Amino acid sequence: MTDEIHELSGAYAVDALDDVERARFERHLTDCSTCRDEVESLSVAAVELSSGLEMAPPASLRASVLSGITSVRQLPPLTEPAGRTGTATDTLGARDCDIVDSPAPTDRPTDAASSPVVPAAPLAGPTDDHAAETGGTVSSISEGSRRSRARQGTRSPWRGLIAAGAAAVLAIGTFTIVRSLTGEKAPQSASQQVLEAPDATKTVHSFANGGSATIVRSASLGKAVLVGTDLPSPGAGKTYQLWLQSKDSAFTSAGIVPGAGNQVVVLGGDAATAAGAGITIEPTGGSKQPTTEPLALFPFSA
């Protein structure tokens, strides 16, 4: 296992891991100084691949950057790895609430119990969406990204799913910190938005021989996300395909799951009007319509 995860350093250094793999690898990095060193040196090597691509940006960019920074607060320096309220132990403890390894927390108490040091309020002022990082807690990072959409009262119980990995990596080197920070706040992470949406609901399906598929759907965002955990191999020449089901039970392809194992995939199509989602095994490349019995159907609440 360790050998295998060690092999991910290269893919991590070129940002070629998906959300789940990234989170898992970042957790590994907190324990493995060999990988940390390797990631840093490989990251430096990787950026060389961008030499020769120079292109002058439009002049307007300069103006928008320079006016933009005047309204952006700089983060405090990271003088000690463990920061103010988070200790190294706290940070490592955050691993436990990552449902990639402990699938599907079912209710809020579970979530709360797994991150006991999380302060109820953001650690800093409401304008600092990175307030979380010196605190190094899962929920405070989510707090920041939620804030950018809207302040909502309800907390999504699986909000730590992806952020956990980002939080766990706080104590480590510059490059990895950069990765985790720039990744977690990205408003463009569609899957994270769905997972953290206040109205997100989820349906879990466990496969008989291990692994599970969870569909998280936010009606307000009109999107659904598959979180596959240890998905068994679909077989040679086959792939998992996702579907949205209309009210009259017609299936529309919502995309292909790029592999087995741990996967986070945003379903294509409008999950607000759909009545449910499904997953089937199809020939590689996908099918226009399901050609096999669905492995699981995930009805959406109205």
Give the footprint of other proteins on residues 85-124 (CB under 8 A): none
Taking CB under 8 A as the criterion, the residue among 81, 198, 232, 286 binding other proteins is 286
- Residues in 223-242 that interact with other proteins by CB under 8 A: 223, 239
Rg for the chain (alpha carbons), in Å? 20
Q: Smallest gap, in angstroms, from Cβ of residue 219 to other proteins?
A: 16
Say whether residue 288 binds other proteins (CB under 8 A): yes
Neighbour-count burial of 148, counting CB atoms closer than 10 A to its CB (0-12 exposed, 13-18 middle, 19+ buried): exposed
Nearest to 139 by CA among 93, 190, 76: 93
Contact call for residues 263 and 211 (beta carbons, < 8 A) = no
272 binds other proteins (CB under 8 A): no
Cα–Cα dist 193/69, whole Å: 25
Identify the residue whose tokens are 């789940």. 20
Minimum distance between the CB of residue 32 and other proteins, rounded to whole angstroms?
Answer: 15
Rule CB under 8 A: choose which of 24, 26, 43, 156 binds other proteins: 43
Out of 1, 3, 51, 153, name the contact with other proteins by CB under 8 A: 51
Instruction: Please give the single-letter amino acid code of residue 202.
Output: K
* Interaction residues for other proteins, span 118-157 (CB under 8 A): 130
| Among 52-60, 103-111, 147-155, 159-167, the segment contacting other proteins (CB under 8 A) | 52-60
Residues near 293 by Cβ (< 8 Å), separated by ≥ 6?
280
Question: For residues 213 and 216, what is the distance between their CA atoms, to the nearest angstrom?
Answer: 10
Cα distance between residue 144 and residue 181, in whole Å: 11
Query: Candidates 82-90, 108-116, 148-156, 283-291 — which segment interacts with other proteins by CB under 8 A?
Result: 283-291
- Binding of other proteins at residue 25 (CB under 8 A)? no
Task: State the distance between the two ends of the chain, measured CA to CA, in whole angstroms.
Answer: 42
Measured from the CB atom, the residue of 115 and 191 that comes closer to other proteins is 191
Q: From CA 260, how far away is CA 229, in angstroms rounded?
A: 9
What is the footprint of other proteins within residues 199-218 (CB under 8 A)? none
DSSP state of 49: G
Query: Binding string to other proteins for residues 240 to 269, with x set by CB under 8 A, is what?
Result: -------------xxxx-xx-----xx-xx
Q: What's the closest the beta carbon of residue 301 comes to other proteins, in angstroms?
A: 23
The nearest distance, CB 96 to other proteins, in angstroms, is 26
- Binding to other proteins (CB under 8 A) within 167-196 occurs at 173-175, 177-179, 181-183, 186, 188-191
Judged by CB under 8 A, does residue 45 bind other proteins?
yes
Which one of the spans 23-31, 42-50, 88-96, 158-166 is the region binding other proteins (CB under 8 A)? 42-50
CB 218 within 8 A of CB 149: no
Using CB under 8 A as the binding criterion, the count of chain residues that bind other proteins stands at: 79
CB-CB contact of 46 with 26 (8 Å): no
Sign, CA dihedral 231-236-14-129, equals negative
